[in-house]
């Protein structure tokens, strides 16, 4: 499937900061399940965009700008061709052995309740893959999607307590459970083409877990499915913090507001829907 993506992020400041630094993980890489046809990245400030590779093999862009900064807007846009690999991720850049992805992080530390949940959910299954699928189903069933219930620093334990959250929380919970039953697991940030094709307010996130003899396998607990053709994989890490599309810091200034517009559509339909939205 050929998917076109446009993702615009704008930070505005009521009181302009003196300087700002940002790290962007907004550029997908190729693997057997996706091919990046074209991709560009634009920052609307006068700055030098330095590209490098981060610890996990993600493409990282970083820049610093001098103020006064009233706003910073970053746009990425491009096309990716995806193939259905039934969730198996092969041919991706791997910088660490799977065991590294057993590390606990503050966002994914399992509470006692999560540990019990993971054990109970998987006790009747044999084999890692079956256990992971049981977790995928159980998390999808037991959590309610609620964008107002959590924020970007919510931990898996907090989310599990309230049984509410967004894709980030679903993924953190899945990761905590998977590591809890001994399967290395990681966070994936990316894009999701929904069937209705509406504008989205954020990118998507899911998880990958390592299964012996099969390799890394994707699990999307928000939708309760394995990632398919409509998932575009951008960055992986131990948790959200390591894969976050944008991490920034500024000195001075105050009153930051964030505005995100994400459009994901089939390439053929993209320009049409865009022109429609522009004419509205």
Partner 1 sequence: MDSRITQFDELAGADGRTRAPYRKLSQWLAETPPELLASRREQAELLFRRIGITFAVYGAQEATERLIPFDILPRILARSEWATLEKGLIQRVAALNAFLADIYGAGEILRAGIVPADLVYRNPAYCPDMAGRRVPYDIYVHIAGVDIVRTDDQGFFVLEDNARTPSGVSYMLENREVMMRLFPELFALHRVAPIENYPDELLATLRSVAPPRANGDPTIVLMTPGQYNSAFYEHSFLADKLGVELVEGRDLFVRDDVVYMRTTEGPRRVDVIYRRIDDDFLDPLCFRPDSALGVAGLMGAYQAGNVTLANAVGAGAADDKAMYTYMPDIIRFYLGEAPLLQNVPTFRCREAEALTYVLDHLDELVVKEVNGSGGYGMLVGPHAAKAQIEEFRAKLKAHPQNFIAQPTLALSTCPIAMANGVAPRHVDLRPFVLQGANGARVVPGGLTRVAMTEKSLVVNSSQGGGTKDTWVIDDAWVGEEPMGQA
**Could you give the string, one character per residue 146-185, with x where binding to partner 1 holds by CB under 8 A and - elsewhere?**
-------x--------------------------------
Nearer to partner 1, 19 or 200 (CB): 19
Distance CA 267, CA 80 (A): 9
Span of 30-38, 156-164, 247-255, 260-268 interacting with partner 1 by CB under 8 A: 247-255
Nearer to partner 1, 27 or 222 (CB): 27
Distance CA 37, CA 32 (A): 14
Of 48-107, which residues contact partner 1 (CB under 8 A)? 48, 50, 52, 54-56, 62, 64, 66, 95-97, 99-100, 102-103
Tell whether residue 275 is a contact of partner 1 (CB under 8 A): no
Tell whether residue 109 is a contact of partner 1 (CB under 8 A): no
Tell whether residue 42 is a contact of partner 1 (CB under 8 A): no
**Could you give the string, one character per residue 202-231, with x where binding to partner 1 holds by CB under 8 A and - elsewhere?**
------------------------------
Q: Least CB distance from residue 102 to partner 1, whole Å?
A: 6
Span of 45-53, 189-197, 203-211, 265-273 interacting with partner 1 by CB under 8 A: 45-53
Nearer to partner 1, 101 or 160 (CB): 101
Tell whether residue 45 is a contact of partner 1 (CB under 8 A): no
Residues forming contacts to partner 1 in the complex (CB under 8 A) are 19, 21, 23, 48, 50, 52, 54-56, 62, 64, 66, 95-97, 99-100, 102-103, 153, 238, 241, 247-251
């Amino acid at each position: 499937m050929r998917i076109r993506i446009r993702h615009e992020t704008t930070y505005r400041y009521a009181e302009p900061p003196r300087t700002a630094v940002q790290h962007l993980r907004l550029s997908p890489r190729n693997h057997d399940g996706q091919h990046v046809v074209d991709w560009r990245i634009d920052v609307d400030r006068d700055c030098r965009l330095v590209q490098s590779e981060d610890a996990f093999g993600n493409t990282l862009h970083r820049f610093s700008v001098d103020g006064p900064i009233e706003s910073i807007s970053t746009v990425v846009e491009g096309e990716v061709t995806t193939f259905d690999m039934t969730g198996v991720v092969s041919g991706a850049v791997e910088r660490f052995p799977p065991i590294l992805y057993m590390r606990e992080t503050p966002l994914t530390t399992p509470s006692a309740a999560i540990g019990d949940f993971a054990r109970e959910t998987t006790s009747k299954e044999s084999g890692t893959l079956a256990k992971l699928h049981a977790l995928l189903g159980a998390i999808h069933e037991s959590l309610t999607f609620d964008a107002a219930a959590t924020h970007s620093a919510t931990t898996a334990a907090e989310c599990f307590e309230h049984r509410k959250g967004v894709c980030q929380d679903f993924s953190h919970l899945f990761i905590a459970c998977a590591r809890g039953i001994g399967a290395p697991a990681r966070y994936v940030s990316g894009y999701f083409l929904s069937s209705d094709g509406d504008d989205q307010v954020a990118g998507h996130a899911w998880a990958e877990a390592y299964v012996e003899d099969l390799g890394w396998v994707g699990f999307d607990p928000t939708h309760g499915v394995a990632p398919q053709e409509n998932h575009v994989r951008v960055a992986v890490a131990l948790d959200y913090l390591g894969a976050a599309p944008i991490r920034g810091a500024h000195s001075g200034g105050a009153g930051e507001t964030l505005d995100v517009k994400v459009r994901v559509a089939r390439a053929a339909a993209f320009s049409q829907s865009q022109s429609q939205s522009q004419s509205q």
